[in-house]
Structure 1
Amino acid sequence: MFEGNRVDTQTLLPQVKRIQAEFGITRLAIVGDRGMLSQTRIDELKETPGVDPSVDWLTALKSSAIRRLVVDDRLQMDLFDERSHFELVHPDYPGERLVACRNPSLAEHRANKREALLQATTQELEAVAALIERGKLRGREQITRRVERLIASGGLTEQVSLEIGEALFTYRLDDPERAAAALLHAFDKHLEQVRKRIACATLKGRSAIEARLRSIAKQYKLDSHVLFDVSEAGFSYHISDQQTALAAAVDGFRQALERIRILVAQGKYGGRDKIGVRLGKVIDKYKVGKHFILDIREDGFAFQRDERKIAEEAALDGMSIIRTSIDSNRMSAAQAVLSYKSLSQVERAFRSLKTVDLKVRPIHHHLGDRVRAHIFLCMLAYYVEWHMREAWRPLLFCDEDIEAKAQRDPVVPAERSDAALEKIHSKTLADGTPAHSFQSLLNALSGIVLNTVRIPGSFDDTATFDIVTTPDHTQQRALDLLQKIQM
């Protein structure tokens, strides 16, 4: 066992060394999934001192590697019309065997699932678009940024009182005279920036200077009240009627705030960030964002399916490629596929350990040795359980013809035998007795009890004897099957 902060992939090589050293095993084959036996781990197996170079391995290619083989035309896809799997070689995998597999049932399932997810995502994207159209997608943060930017540009941060909500805001100009003075001060500061640009020669030419000055005057609603005298070297200005001009500036500021308020009330002020966040939630919900092309704007968005990427993924539906260093004389292609698929038994074992039967957690020990002992006992318990399940196959809802299972096509989905289906449908065995699950059979066996019997009238504690209840037909048969276990 390793410390809890140890990554799974870092436990492989130490265990390989330990198995070879303690048990003297020279021919060892490791079966691991694509995450455990990555290219990095395979290279380490070949190069790490202390690991016998004869150690073989069996894993599968990741989808990106399979896609490269398809793009490079290294896979003859039409061969799947005649068989479910075939072997191939590739220069990127020297000295290795590749077994390409395609499961039509899995391909159909994935295609249907992908289409269902795409349709669900499309519906939710259309719902978001409808929210934007109806003005239901808005936000306090976007309103605040827009209003505060307007107020700051006029130098009126201290002159305006705001109340901003998710879908509306109100404002009040506290002192119009002070607001007018603040606007004039902001106007002067803006013009001073233009003078600095002229001095630094970043703004040149009389026409360019005039255009910039007119733009600033229009921004402050003073374009009809201010006169500019512009030259190549600079400018001066004069406000004809300052009181009227400042009143117009304050009124223009009010109009600008009012326009924002109307836009907010109409729901036209959503914002690109707000829309993007909402779309991100939809895309992440079904994990199909890579299949959509989004165009997000300030006032809405557009989307469409990325048919090219969908087609590329669909080409790999139901496909897997087994990768192994084991020679064909020792393991056929079908056996390689079955060996990799046997990893599902490991997953079932962990599920049984963690949740279903043995429930290894919670672990109430704190010392390392006790935790290891706890896990070891659970592993022993699962070992016993596995043998019990195999021995009780005739009594459970299980297939009994193990040889037929070994001879079936290794790629296509497994199917229950007619005998197993009959047990499931009728819930009885061939002799008419009830068929059981593993748990129900254990419950049936719990009816066998040890009774301690005391002779009537006896007061001596030694005058007792033990008797075990007689097993019924099912209980006796289960006990007889357990006697046949050979560990």
Structure 2
Amino acid sequence: MYIERVKSRQGGKVYTQILLRESYRERGETGSKVKKRTLLNLTKYPEAVIKTIDLALKHKDSPDELEHLLGGSVKQKQGRSVGAVWVLLHLCRELGLDKIIGSSRHGQLCLWLIMARLIEQGSRLSAVRLADEHAVCELLGVDSFTEDDLYQALDWLCEQQDNIEQKLFKKTFGDQAPTLFLYDVTSSYLEGDQNELGDWGYNRDNKRGKKQIVVGLLCGDDSTPVSVRVFKGNTTDLKTFGAQIEKTAREFGCQRVTMVGDRGMIKSVQIEGLKEAGFYYITAITKPQIRAMLKSGALQLGLFDSEQCEVEQNGVRYILRRNPIRAAEVAASRARKISAVQALAAEQNRYLAEHSRADFYKVTQKVWDKESKLKVGDFLKTTCTNRTITVEIDEAYLAEVQELDDCYVLRTDLPAEHAPTKTVHDRYKDLIQVEHAFRTCTTGHLEVRPIYVRKESRTRGHIFVVMLAYLVRRKLAAAWRDLDVTVEEGLKKLSTLCAMEHEIDGRQTGGLLSVPKPRPSLTRLFSALAITPPSALPRNGGRAASRKKLPDRRKAK
């Protein structure tokens, strides 16, 4: 790491930029090259600060010599955390997020919101308190801010979302835009009822009595998220799909696109919309639709096998498959559920025999509730005659259900010359990557809940921050895959690397923050990412301070 002065001539005038730079080695197919990158523009800093940093860098490996040059007693004390923010800032730059979001104050605060979501999930208020423990102002070059500034940054991010997604799409795919997109929908329940997008709807979280929002995530063919949309909580999956068709066609400008969605996502209305846009689709059909096609003779049960089989009808391709291992697991699970209901019925019969005054209807209700909970009531018939509970199995219906155990049929209008049978099957299975992204963002590391905002714009901005944080997390997960550490653990370890503040003869130095050499466990994390930790940082007078204080909000005992 070193300081370099760069001169440039514009309009007959000579301008000098003072840059903090570092050298790194980039490996390619033809070998490795030594390159340099700019870490910070020091031009606006006082000359005394620049000289202090330059002196510290030149003598970073000889603190005794530095103390002698400074002519006094040098003392150090621990400063703010550097490691995690330094790594996340580098990854944001590699993804191009710093340039795409922009260098405005709002843009820099949005970058911090992305980093804060990865370091420690919480509200904007907690993000401010977290920034006071990390060298955010020094590394991002922002001045003091509060939670109100972060709320305004969310409003700004919502306004800029379409523009940012377009730039990010271009940065990610360049001229080779994907021809296949994966789309899925989830819901996220809300604590409270003041959110402007909150409403009652189909709740995937099984949280009764809570409003929700609906989130649709669009990914490229390599499962990279490219767009996220937030809808009111009562929006059905089918209605969210049209917005993504329009976005893909109009904003991304993609041609010959194939949209992949699950069986509840792409139905007749959506298929017509795709045809109007010139798009293709890959989806699955439901079990009742499979039975209807078997009854009509369009499909034969014998075609279901462990290998994919294809049938074409009226220009639509149907890919059939049965997973025998999964079918055996489903049959075993169903048998256990039936046994559990029968065991409960036997237990309640003993109770009725021992308690002559017991209400047989309430006792039978327990068995019915068990059936409903295990979802086996379709082929079980439970009755109570003469205070004896009987559980009968509808063998005919059960046999009909077992015929299609883990049988599934994919449906597509994509021509065979564009995608053979295996390709169609594999692309539909790729939807599991979108589900993984949802799990990471909702209940996993990034944990979108609780949503501590009420306004529509801030809700959309918050969800967009989570999507951008997921892009950064993917790079971390890929780089640390071979290390014995999770992404969460790695970031916590990096947060322990702190800058050092210096005092000379009891006085704090004006512009110097040094960073000690990381311990081996941290060095491995840096090396896996090909990132060099800083050895010094310029001091920034900015400070993150929350406007609302926790002691003021705590109830007096």
Give the TM-score band, short-chain normalised. Answer: 0.5 to 0.7
Selected match of 2:339 from 88, 111, 119: 119
Q: Does 1:331 align with 2:457?
A: no
* 1:38 CA displacement: 2.7
Structure label with greater radius of gyration: 1
Q: Is the Cα contact below 8 Å between 1:33 and 1:59 reproduced in 2?
A: yes
* 1:298 CA displacement: 6.2
Selected match of 1:2 from 221, 231, 237: 231
* 1:472 CA displacement: 4.1
Instruction: Give the whole-Å Cα distance in 1 for the aligned partners of 2:273 and 2:352.
Output: 55
Tell me how large the CA RMSD over aligned residues is: 2.7
* 1:372 CA displacement: 1.7
Q: Is the Cα contact below 8 Å between 2:380 and 2:391 reproduced in 1?
A: yes
Residue 304 of structure 1 corresponds to: 392
* 1:450 CA displacement: 2.0
Selected match of 1:29 from 258, 262, 271: 258
The alignment covers a number of residue pairs equal to: 302
Residue 219 of structure 2 corresponds to: none
Q: What does residue range 320-469 of structure 1 map to in structure 2 within 5 Å?
A: 320-395=408-483, 435-455=484-504, 457-459=505-507, 461-462=509-510, 465-469=512-516
Residue 85 of structure 1 corresponds to: 308
Residue 105 of structure 1 corresponds to: 325
Q: Is the Cα contact below 8 Å between 1:452 and 1:465 reproduced in 2?
A: yes
Instruction: Give the whole-Å Cα distance in 1 for the aligned partners of 2:458 and 2:356.
Output: 59
1:297/1:87 CA distance change after superposition, 3 Å? same
Q: Is the Cα contact below 8 Å between 2:337 and 2:374 reproduced in 1?
A: yes
Instruction: Give the whole-Å Cα distance in 1 for the aligned partners of 2:507 and 2:370.
Output: 78
Q: Secondary structure at the match of 1:450?
A: strand
The code of the aligned residue for 1:338 comes to D
1:295/1:357 CA distance change after superposition, 3 Å? closer
The code of the aligned residue for 1:59 comes to T
* 1:361 CA displacement: 1.8
The code of the aligned residue for 2:290 comes to I
Q: Does 1:291 align with 2:520?
A: no
Q: Secondary structure at the match of 2:309?
A: strand
Deviation string 1:441-470 (CA, Å, 9 cap, x unpaired) is 223323332222334x252532x6322232
The code of the aligned residue for 2:427 comes to S
Instruction: Give the whole-Å Cα distance in 2 for the aligned partners of 1:100 and 1:80.
Output: 6
Q: Is the Cα contact below 8 Å between 1:137 and 1:275 reproduced in 2?
A: no
* 1:116 CA displacement: 0.4
Q: Does 1:60 align with 2:284?
A: yes
Residue 144 of structure 1 corresponds to: none
1:275/1:470 CA distance change after superposition, 3 Å? closer
Percent sequence identity over matched residues? 29
Gaps of 5+ in 1: 140-269, 396-434
Gaps of 5+ in 2: 1-229, 532-557
Q: Which structure would you say has the larger RCO, counting Cα contacts within 8 Å and 6 or more residues apart? A: 2
User: Could you tell me the TM-score, scaled by structure 2's length?
Assistant: 0.50
Q: Is the Cα contact below 8 Å between 1:56 and 1:325 reproduced in 2?
A: yes
Q: Does 1:476 align with 2:503?
A: no
Q: What does residue range 111-190 of structure 1 map to in structure 2 within 5 Å?
A: 111-136=331-356, 138-139=358-359
Name the structure where strand makes up a greater proportion of residues: 2
Instruction: Give the whole-Å Cα distance in 2 for the aligned partners of 1:80 and 1:279.
Output: 36
* 1:60 CA displacement: 0.8
Q: Is the Cα contact below 8 Å between 2:473 and 2:487 reproduced in 1?
A: no
Q: Secondary structure at the match of 1:2?
A: strand
Selected match of 2:247 from 5, 11, 18: 18
* 1:366 CA displacement: 2.0
Instruction: Give the whole-Å Cα distance in 1 for the aligned partners of 2:487 and 2:381.
Output: 50
